[in-house]
Structure 1
Amino acid sequence: MGIDISSQSNSIFFIDDAGNHLIKKPFSLPNDQEGANELIKRVIDCLSQYNLSYVKFGMEATSHYGWHLHLYLASSSELLPYKPTFYVLNPSIVKGFKKIYTFLPKTDNIDAVVIAECVRFSKLNPTPLPDFKYAALQRLTRMRYHLVHNLTREKNRALNLIYLKFSTYSQDCPFSDIFGKASCAIIENFTPDDIASMPLEDLIKFVSDNGNNRLSDVNKIAEILKTAANRSYRLHPLLAEANDLALSMTLENIRFMQEQLKKLDKEISKLLKAFSQTLTTIPGIGDVLAAGIIAEIGDIKRFKNEAALAKYSGLVWTQYQSGNFNAQETSLAKCGNQYLRYYLVEAANCVRVHTVRYKAFYNKKFSEVTKHQHKRALVLTARRLIPLIFAMLSKGQIYQERGDVYNT
């Protein structure tokens, strides 16, 4: 059975193992509980009519739209005697399979037929039902992924607005964090003209007050700000007010998202306690990174070996070979779980700072090329990290600096 899923309706088609069409044409049902009940009824009628003993359901992985249907069909007591199996297919698999049918139009009904044929022909492993313990953690770690990316976009927007207001500020910023409390207070309250004309003592007091008296050399910070203000371009008065408003709102968004991130990290750490894991024994990997990796991997027994885990994460490289030619430069495969890949790369970036073993590997890969050095070395370090993570999750082992692992 092929199901092409959308937010409001599902297109459905039935075939048997021999490729015979069991219905004349695909039909549509609402993507809700009533539609699912009608679907179960039609499936059972078809099985009875043709004296069939089992059913396979194929559906594309369409974000969250197939979540409820998959669980509802799997929990149906009426379908249980027919040993239902489910195949949630990567859209790229369906797209590639569809190419064998030349000149097919792109419609939901046709896609339902193609999905059914894909399940019939392809040697696929059934998709297990989600483990809700992992699924709950995954909701939060994926939320964090999107929040971090939104925060990065807001910061980039803020930097553009800061440049218009105070063109030399970013390059001369005397604060360790341009979006820290003291730095933002300067940006929001003063123009370059204000800072240039302000008595040095007043500027020192303002910086000290907004830095909660934690800044090491307030006098030097004030002097750097004065110098930067004198060198900066001046924004046209007609644009200054609008730019200030946009900057103020953007900085407020950044503060809000930073607070949300703190709340999310606390909740992720709380949920992680339900898991028996040793990933946090690796220097540089804290609760958040460990949770992101565990949530996306799920049960490690799903993977035959570390190579299968690497493929799932998308940390594999394409190969191009023809005759005697074998390409030396290959790109990262555009496949796999983007969330797992993100958390593995973030973990690699932290681990290479805190461990001798991975720092040496990173430096070696960094020195091998002259372009994209950091990005290339970091991704390769993430791939190097996968065997360790696979072993630790499979056997409950802890990390030792020299690279060995021991049973807990």
Structure 2
Amino acid sequence: MKKHMLSTLFVGVDVSLRSQHAVMLDFFGEQHASIPFPNNVSGASLIISEIIKHATIIKATHVVVAMESTSFYSFHLCNYLFQSPELAAFHTKVYCLNPKVTSAYQKTFVDVDKDDPHDAYGIADFARTGKITSEPFQGSQFVALQRLTRARLHLVENLSREKSYVLTNIFIKFSELAAINVKDPDSPFSNKFGATSMAVLEEMSPDQIAYASLDELIDFLMEKGKARFTDPEAKAKLLQRAARDSYRLEKALYEPLNAAIAASFNCIKALEAEIKAVDKAIEKAIGGLATNNYKCLLSIKGFGPVISAGLIAEIGFISRFSSEEKLAKYAGLTWRKKQSGAFTSDITYMTKTGNQYLRYYLGEAVMSLLKNHNSEYTGFYRKKYDEAIRFKHKRALALTSRKLVRLIFALLRDNRLYTNNKERMKAN
């Protein structure tokens, strides 16, 4: 883009649900148009005509269109302009920019009104001054898969939120059961949201458990747990101990609490079922898309269909990125240097201005590698965990994710399968 700056028309678009505004600048900052248009096909056709008209007037050979990635409002216009055969003649590049970046730039305009024309001007000027560092829009090939992988994250976040919420009601009803860590040997259940634990919380009060006979409690646990407990008597004793150590409530409070807990459990079950359904849809969708890239990522032990699809959906074509540093920056896995004079701070903060969905799936991928005991990444994570002063897990996870970016970039760039250090040593 920089080679053709003098002969480029820069178009900034402020996008909203129903209306949009475009401002067109040449390289020298002269404004050639400021046009409102509706956010529909007719409006998109209008702005294409205006872009061609003004590009012809200034004899531009290239066009750069920039807009903020504002929720989903910019998607249709971005894709429409990208697919336009008329704009292709001007080597048009369309950019969806991070609103945080453009907003910070527009604050440099002193004493300027905050309205659509001025916002569009700021975006156009941002492009004109060569401050765009992101990759241009590459089409909608990965959009369908992306909608699935992002929907899955949305469901997972709702599930996590619902589980956190129901724990408050569980603590009020059964304080000791809520407080015990499931990894503690005194915990009667390995999963507070398992079928048996849910049945206990929905159907019994701490008093009923505390004063029930051991045989009755064992029978209840075996029925609800489908006879899967290896030592049901020990579980029953632990449950009774937790019940006896829990605070007691007035009897009138138990029925409303049971109803609230049951409602949350129903939501949790529904969300878990929907996540499984989306997982199947993701596996089906990825099958016919970027097959080679998918196989490359699946070759990493611990990378299943969901993690691989989530990474591919956000990365798209690896050719968009000239280096693994560019890919890491796109994911927001970069750290700001904090220095003044001879002082350099040991505490640096991650930018997080990149693609949050890609960052999430990289984090999930790292956790999966740790669970599968990948020696290379487990050792690196442990080293960074021990080095960290604060936020040990978060810092180690972020740094290990950054290391993983290098591997993913190399595999996708070279179109090859993964071999770990042990396998490479055996091959040699």
* Normalised-by-shorter TM-score class: over 0.9
TM-aligned CA distance change 1:281 to 1:49, over 3 Å: closer
Which residue is 1:311 aligned to?
A: 329
- Separation (CA, whole Å) in 2 of partners of 1:83 and 1:397: 32
In structure 2, the partner of 1:196 is 210
Partner residue, 2:50: 42
Distance change in 2, residues 1:369/1:34 (3 Å): closer
Instruction: State yes or no: 1:224 paired with 2:254.
Output: no
Number of the residue aligned with 2:31: 21
The offset of 1:142, in angstroms, is 0.8
Alpha-carbon shift at residue 235 of structure 1 (Å): 2.3
Question: Using the alignment, how far apart are the partners of 2:57 and 2:401 within structure 1?
Answer: 53
Q: Secondary structure at the match of 1:65?
A: coil
**Hey, what does 1:58 align to over in structure 2?**
66
Greater CA deviation, 237-246 or 178-187?
237-246
Match of 2:13 in 1: 3
2:139 aligned residue: 130
Instruction: Give the distance between the partners of 1:387 and 1:53, measured in 2 at CA.
Output: 37
The worse-fitting range, judged by mean Cα deviation, of 345-354 and 62-71 is 345-354
Is the CA contact (8 Å cut-off) linking 1:279 and 1:389 kept in structure 2? Answer: yes
1:117 to 112, 117, 125: 125
Counting only pairs closer than 5 Å after superposition, residues 27-106 of structure 1 correspond to structure 2 as 27-48=35-56, 52-106=60-114
Deviations 1:301-356 (A, max 9, x none): 11112111111111111101222111111111131111111111111122133211
| TM-score, normalization by structure 2 | 0.89
Give the C-alpha shift of residue 86 in structure 1.
1.5
**Which residue number corresponds to residue 404 of structure 2?**
385
Stretches of structure 1 lacking an aligned partner (at least 5 in a row): none
For the residues of structure 2 that align with 1:310 and 1:34, how far apart are their CA atoms?
A: 38
Rate the CA distance shift 1:183–1:367 in 2: closer, same or farther, 3 A: same
Question: How far apart are 1:397 and its partner, in Å?
Answer: 2.4
What's the RMSD between the two structures over aligned residues? 2.1
Partner in structure 1 of residue 385 of structure 2? 366
Give the match for residue 257 of structure 1.
271
CA, structure 1 residues 80+314, in 2 after alignment: closer, same or farther (shift >3 Å)?
Answer: closer
Within a 5 Å distance, the mapping from 1:173-212 to structure 2 comes to: 173-212=187-226
Equivalent residue number for residue 344 of structure 1: 362
Q: Which residue of 1 aligns with 2:173?
A: 165
Distance 1:369 1:192, change over 3 A: same
Of residues 330, 336, 340 in structure 2, which corresponds to 1:322?
Answer: 340
* Alpha-carbon distance between aligned partners in 1 of 2:84 and 2:98, rounded to the nearest angstrom: 24
- Structure 1 pair 350/358, CA: closer, same or farther in 2 (3 Å)? same
Q: Give distance in 1, aligned partners of 2:88 and 2:117.
A: 27
Following superposition, the deviation at residue 284 of structure 1 comes to: 2.0
**Conserved in 2, the CA contact under 8 Å of 1:87 and 1:119?**
no
**CA deviations over 1:100-126 (Å, ceiling 9, x no partner):** 311222211210111111121125366
Give the AA of the match of 1:112: A
Distance 2:404 2:53 in 1: 51
- Which residue of the partner structure matches residue 152 of structure 1? 160
Which shows bigger deviation, 273-282 or 293-302? 273-282
Q: Secondary structure of the equivalent of 1:349?
A: helix
Taking the aligned partners of 2:118 and 2:35, their CA distance within structure 1 comes to: 11
Q: Which letter maps to 1:42?
A: E
Task: Count matched residues.
Answer: 404
For 1:285, give the aligned amino acid: F
Whole-angstrom CA distance in 2 between matches of 1:129 and 1:183: 48
Deviations 1:104-156 (A, max 9, x none): 22211210111111121125366133241x22221111111111111000000
Give the C-alpha shift of residue 37 in structure 1: 2.3
> Which residue among 379, 384, 395 is the counterpart of 1:376?
395
| Identity fraction in percent | 39
Which of the residues 284, 287, 309 maps onto 1:291? 309
Matching residue's letter, 1:128: F
> Residue 269 of structure 1 contacts residue 288 of structure 1 at CA under 8 Å; is this kept in 2?
yes
SS of the residue 2:17 aligns to: coil
**How far apart, CA to CA, are the structure 2 residues paired with 1:53 and 1:290?**
39
- Offset, 1:260: 0.6
CA–CA distance in structure 1, aligned partners of residues 215 and 382 of structure 2: 46
Give 3-state SS (helix, strand or coil) of 1:168's partner: helix
How far apart in 1 are the matches of 2:87 and 2:369? 48
> How far is 1:52 from its partner?
4.7
Quick check: 1:398–1:405 contact (8 Å CA) kept in 2? no
Contact persistence 2:69–2:99 (CA under 8 A): yes
In 2, Cα distance between equivalents of 1:388 and 1:75: 33
| Distance across 2 between alignment mates of 1:284 and 1:138 | 21
Structure 2 CA distance for partners of 1:396 and 1:44, relative to 1, 3 Å: closer
Between the aligned partners of 1:78 and 1:363, the Cα distance in structure 2 is 55
Equivalent position SS for 1:10: strand
**Which amino acid in 1 is paired with 2:350?**
L
Distance in 2 of aligned mates of 1:227 and 1:93: 56
Stretch moving more, 277-286 or 63-72: 277-286
Aligned position for 2:413:
394
Q: TM-score, normalised by structure 1?
A: 0.93
